[in-house]
Amino acid sequence: MPNLKDLKNRIASVKSTRKITKAMQMVAAAKLRRAQESAEEARPYAERFNAVMAGLAASVGGSDSAPKLLRGTGSDQVHLLVVLTAERGLCGGFNSSIAKLARTHAERLQAEGKTVKTLTVGKKGRDALKRDLGKFNVGHVDMTEVKRVGYADAQGIAKGILDRFDAGEFDVATIFFAEFVNVVTQVPTAQQVIPAKFEQDAEADDSTLYDYEPDEEAILADLLPKGVATAIFSALLENGASEQGARMSAMDNATRNAGEMIDKLTIEYNRSRQAVITNELIEIISGAEAL
């Protein structure tokens, strides 16, 4: 049984930990609101952009004149997995769930005989995939110095991916991130960005005809690189909200667990203290009787 001094020190240590987790919870709650607003405000733009691109892509079809970013290289042998995670931990299963989805996707591709390459954005994703997919890593983007994610950051990541595509380093690129639903729910998501895939809006009116100036191919050639940057920017914003929501939930759980541990340790401390007092009384009574 631990002595009273050890129990007292442990109670003080857990109380200090509880103060830290409570402070981190409050900081995450403050950051969550802004991150959530940014993610939700970007969704209508991304959805409308994809709807326009879907219409253009449908009109072009799979013709040879279609831009390479749309029609692809004609092969799907080499896949680039772009894994977007956080630079910091202490956010529950946020980082590990994204890494797990990427790892499962890579294993499936390898089972099909495909070649896998990885590009990580965020230190935690690189660390999580180092053991299983570290030998396939072709690059890492450090976001440590980024205080608030902007479109320029997404453009930089997109430019690196597009340069690799133009150099013929891969055929298909897929990004992995967590879509924010609420504080306790963040859904790991995989989205193919090269070749571009757009879902046709079911409510769209196909009877409307449009004349494009310049033609559809020229417009797509200009917009498709922006589409890659837009997809990455949306993923970064979703990740930002998901990270703060997961951290807020994890720190809340940690604070409550620390409180429960303090209660248990306090009971154990009181029992041990009472046992010491009882033993001292017994010794005093025994000594008095001996006299």
pLDDT digits (tens, 9 = 90+) for 242-284: 999 999 999 999 999 999 999 999 998 888 888 878 887 888 8
Q: What pLDDT does residue 232 have?
A: 92
Q: What pLDDT does residue 54 have?
A: 80
Looking at the domain that runs over 25-202+209-246, which CATH code has it been given?
3.40.1380.10
* 84 and 234 Cβ atoms separated by less than 8 Å: no
Q: Which residue has the tokens 């499936």?
A: 108
Asked which of 31-35, 70-74, 101-105 is least confident by mean pLDDT, the reply is 70-74
Q: Mean pLDDT across the chain, nearest whole number? A: 86
Answer CATH for 4-20+252-290 from 1.10.287.80, 1.10.3470.10, 3.40.50.150, 1.10.3720.10: 1.10.287.80
Asked which of 39-48, 122-131, 171-180, 213-222 is least confident by mean pLDDT, the reply is 213-222
- Residue 192: phi and psi, rounded to 5, are -80, 130
Active site residue 43: no
As annotated, the residues of the chain forming the CATH 3.40.1380.10 domain(s) are 25-202+209-246
- In the predicted structure, residue 289 carries a pLDDT above the cut 80: no
SS3 call for 61: coil
Q: Nearest CA to 244 among 2, 26, 22, 12?
A: 26
- In the predicted structure, residue 204 carries a pLDDT above the cut 60: no
Residues pairing with 172 in the sheet? 79
Alpha-carbon distance 167 to 80, whole Å?
13
Average pLDDT in the 24-51 region?
89
- In the predicted structure, residue 132 carries a pLDDT above the cut 90: no
* 129 and 105 Cβ atoms separated by less than 8 Å: no
Catalytic position from the list 11, 84, 91, 106: 91
- In the predicted structure, residue 213 carries a pLDDT above the cut 80: no
Alpha-carbon distance 86 to 83, whole Å?
10
* 21 and 255 Cβ atoms separated by less than 8 Å: yes
**CB-based contacts of 109, cutoff 8 Å, min separation 6:** 79, 116
Provide, for the chain, the percentages of residues in helix, strand and coil under a 3-state DSSP scheme, each rounded to the nearest 5: 65, 15, 25
**CB-based contacts of 103, cutoff 8 Å, min separation 6:** 129, 132, 133
